[in-house]
Chains A and B, each alone.
Chain A
Amino acid sequence: MSDGDYDYLIKFLALGDSGVGKTSFLYQYTDGKFNSKFITTVGIDFREKRVIYRSTGSDGSSGKGQKIHMQLWDTAGQERFRSLTTAFFRDAMGFLLLFDLTNEQSFLNVRNWMSQLQIHAYCENPDVVLCGNKCDLADQRAVSEEEARELAEKYGIPYFETSAANGLNVNKVVDVLLDLVMKRMERCVDKSWIPDGTVRANGPLNPDSSENSDRNKCAC
């Protein structure tokens, strides 16, 4: 698993309150399995997975596949591990912020997690995807899709309802995050290498990038 035959090492990190299903989510993503028993994560852990990434250009064409080795950091949601887990934020390129659709407090805490990210991540507006997990437990739902979507919009981040139990949107979420991070990478590198004005001189304007530029502005 850890041989160097890949093009990119991409590091993501899952965060959110205790018991929202971060570990299960990642387990579902990497192994396609689910265990309903609750095992609290001790501090930190990570899982790995290889995927092929095809960038989608603005014209909808897809580039050649890139081999991605993903390192998915799992963090303990419990408060007592906080100082440890937040120290790992800075090493992640993208974040999966989970809350539990059946637990309103975990949703209210999303705000706190976002501000933790702003403080500890590698830049003030890292790529984040918000996940309302446990959407399979429809009868216990405590957070409506609208209010979750509203919050995500406020932060300018994508929102998905997921289920680590049946796998709904699990792959989708990681793919979306990967796409965001890869796009940001392109922007960062091209910006520092290609003098302004020449990048788009004769190419089609990327509507996507201008639209996102507000929140994706970064220090580089």
Chain B
Amino acid sequence: MPQAADMVNLDFLSNSEKERILEVLQRDEELRHADDQRVRKLKTDLQEVKRKGAKRGSGKYSQRICGRCLEPLSPLILFNSKCAVCSHDVCRNCRTILANGSWVCNVCDKESDVKKKTGEWFYDQNINRFSAAPGHDLVRLSLKRPLKKNETTGQVLLRNCEITPAPSSPVPQPRQKNKIPNKSTNSESAEKTSIQSGKTDTASGPVTPDPPRRKNRSDKSSPAGSSVSSLSVAVKADGDSDKSEAKTTPGVKPASSNPDLDVDRLFKKSIKRAPKPQECVSTLDLRDGFDHSETSMGNRSKSVPGLDVQEAEEEDEDIDSLVSLHKRTMASSSSSLHSSKSAMGSLMSVYSEAGDFDSVDVCGDVIFSLSYDEHTQSLQVFIKECHGLAYGDASRQLSNPYVKCYLLPDKSRQSKRKTSVKRNTINPVFKETLKYSISRTQLFTRSMLISVWHHGRFSRNAFLGEVEISLDSRDLDSPYEDCMVLMGKASSAVPSSPFAQYKGELVISLKYVTPKMPAEKIKGKKVATEEGELHVLIKEANNLMAVKLGGTSDSFVKGNLFPTKEKTSKRKTPVVKKNLNPHYDHTFVYKELALEQLKGMCLELTVWDREAMSSNEFLGGVRLSSGKGTVKMGKEEVEMDSVGEEVSLWEKMMQYPDSWAEGTLPLRSTMGKVKGK
């Protein structure tokens, strides 16, 4: 079995040797860091290409247009115009010929290209090898052992080096770590790997959370990294379950643990080794800190001990319920986090998102500048003025314009900023600065949506135009004034694809467990033992959208298996707080399913941000199925519009019963359903 990084005992190294190795690891870290940037860019580009090809999955479109460029297809192409991967009809210009002479559409080609260039193909195998380990109840183990697929040994070692501060005393203390039983040790497994293990327990006692490590975490992980260590805490504190093993183990492993070590430990069967109690303690400390900050923020996101209690009302979020919830929130909102100004706005946006506004012929332009203020760590959007706007109220030749901004992809109220309303003018001068507190690195994947609206005092608001500026290539250091022509709403013109916005990814494993031995059948009562179970292991999500103040989300995953057999097809994970890269490591089990049945079934997994006082916010979802045919959801027959990995993972699960099929699925930004014919 693969030798684990956690078995690497480096005590035998001399101090100078440790230093040499540390140096190598640091060089590796630099290389990896540069590569992370590259990978992120690739993923953003892919998103861009996907957005351009508007047709994907859903469609009110004619069969005879190209699924990518939306040009009409030549009538000469009658057959063989479907892309083999996504099954869209595609014109010749939007195809990429593969080396073997066949072709795929250019979006699918780009997608596979990204898989290669990011090294995903390799990490996928790496992780699959681990999850395929025989003889282990992986579910049980991975409940508390998050697997992070593209973490390297070097990374783990380096991190562990940094946990341990530089040797304070040159005399290494004698150690007998391996023999110490579970609960007593503190830094046992951490130090096992550590290179600078010259020092011991005395130096960084069990109770001290180490700043260097946390810093390191945030460096390496994506935007929200800084909060990684915090949130696992809250979950644990909520009394979340780990029914599996010794009670000494923390229920959900802190996200800041060393996944690789854990992975590898699976193979060693040496579960005796203690999970680092050091971390338990430090997380408790952290939690205290967070509680304070929560109260100071208002009690919206305060943790509620009984998870079940809070999970009552997030179903079926139609506009009405959203609005009523907003009203309720506002009624009691003296303590709410929102400044009164933005709270007022929310109600209207609910409508504007639903398309409930007047539309006019867009004209005119907006003058603005964007800059980043290092000092306050904030993005500053200076809205100067607009020229030649359309009349929002055409009958009265009247416009009361204001400007509204979103820092996309976040379209929630946290991302909304508005200027004041200017009365009766089509050439308003605002000269207002709207600010976003956000770290510079996070801006890379964002874009700024500036829209202009007419404020109808007694009538409805009217949309006057918008512009979108992507921030990845924009120079934010030397602000310059931009004058951009306002555009109509892109989203209403083109049917938007559920993948148009990058919402992050969900990492899951599926396994179909075949029925037990016949012996058990005899013993069993009337239970249909011939039917197996579907295990859905929700591992983690990456790069979730931040919807809460402070750039985080408190997320959970909901599972629904269609067609619904009984009421119990709904499953939920516990909430993971303040993390955009949460580890859930929770398994949904669906019982009494025949393998045959699964072909016609559809599994929906949706990620939600938990809002204590209002409705939960949708963060993204995936729909797993064979991608063909329809399925009954509620009272409607709905098309199973799964694509790409959603299909391949589902099929892999059916193809290899009793083994885990793991995949990383891009989250859809909407779960809009296409009615079956």
Contacts and interface: CB of A to CB of B under 8 A. Distances in A.
Interface of A: 2-4, 6-9, 42-46, 48, 55, 57-58, 63, 71, 80, 83-84, 86-91, 93, 119-120, 122-124, 185-186, 188-190, 192-195, 198-204, 206, 218-220
B84 A195 contact: yes
Given A71-B31, A91-B154, A188 B121 contact: yes
Interface string B138-164: 000000000000001110010000000
Given A8-B116, A43-B20, A193-B112, A202 B122 contact: no
B329 interface: no
B101 A204 contact: yes
B3 A192 contact: no
A220 B132 contact: no
A185 B116 contact: yes
Given A43-B13, A90-B153, A2 B31 contact: yes
Contacts of B121: 185, 188-189, 192, 220
Interface in B104-152: 104, 108, 111-112, 115-117, 119, 121-122, 124-126, 128-129, 132, 152
A90 B7 CA distance: 14
Given A189-B121, A202-B102, 8 more contacts: A8-B119, A43-B24, A91-B153, A93-B119, A119-B3, A120-B2, A201-B102, A203-B101
A218 B125 contact: yes
Given A91-B152, A122-B126, A193-B112, A8 B102 contact: no
26 contacts: A2-B30, A6-B38, A8-B116, A43-B24, A44-B21, A45-B24, A58-B100, A87-B3, A90-B2, A93-B119, A119-B3, A122-B126, A124-B129, A185-B116, A188-B125, A189-B115, A190-B112, A192-B121, A192-B648, A194-B85, A198-B102, A200-B102, A202-B101, A203-B100, A219-B129, A219-B132
Contacts of B132: 219
Nearest to A9: B35
A219 B660 CA distance: 11
Q: Bin chain B's interface residue count.
A: 35 or more
Contacts of B38: 4, 6, 9
A84 B10 contact: yes
Contact of A83 (B3, B98, B125): B3
A-B interface, 5 closest residue pairs, ranked by CB to CB distance from nearest: A203-B100, A203-B101, A4-B38, A198-B84, A122-B126
B92 to A, nearest CB: 15
A42 B100 contact: no
A84 B192 CA distance: 12
Given A83-B8, A122-B125, A189-B121, A200 B100 contact: yes
A119 B648 contact: no
B643 to A, nearest CB: 11
Contacts of A186: 99, 116
Interface of B: 1-5, 7-10, 12-13, 17, 20-21, 24, 27-28, 30-31, 34-35, 37-38, 41, 84-85, 98-102, 104, 108, 111-112, 115-117, 119, 121-122, 124-126, 128-129, 132, 152-154, 157, 644-645, 648
Contact of B37 (A4, A195, A203): A4
B116 A203 contact: no
A188 B112 CA distance: 10
Contacts of A89: 2
A175 B454 CA distance: 63
Contacts of A8: 116-117, 119
Contacts of B2: 89-90, 119-120
A84 B9 CA distance: 8
Contact of A42 (B20, B30, B153): B20
Contacts, number: 140
Given A42-B21, A119-B1, A203-B99, A93 B8 contact: no
B34 A4 contact: yes
A123 B21 contact: no
A12 to B, nearest CB: 12
A198 B84 CA distance: 7
B283 to A, nearest CB: 27
Nearest to A126: B125
B126 A90 contact: yes
A63 B99 contact: yes
A182 B234 CA distance: 44
A142 to B, nearest CB: 31
Contacts of A71: 28, 31
Contacts of B99: 55, 57-58, 63, 186, 203
A2 B84 CA distance: 37
A46 B111 contact: no
A194 B84 contact: yes
A2 B112 contact: no
A204 B102 CA distance: 9
A80 B152 CA distance: 22
Contact of A4 (B35, B85, B100): B35
B102 A193 contact: no
Nearest to B263: A90
Contacts of A88: 153-154
A43 B157 CA distance: 13
Contacts of B112: 189-190, 193
Contact of B648 (A9, A57, A193): A193
Nearest to B97: A203
A208 to B, nearest CB: 11
A93 B122 contact: yes
Nearest to A7: B117
A220 B128 contact: yes
Contact of B34 (A2, A44, A57): A2
Nearest to A206: B100
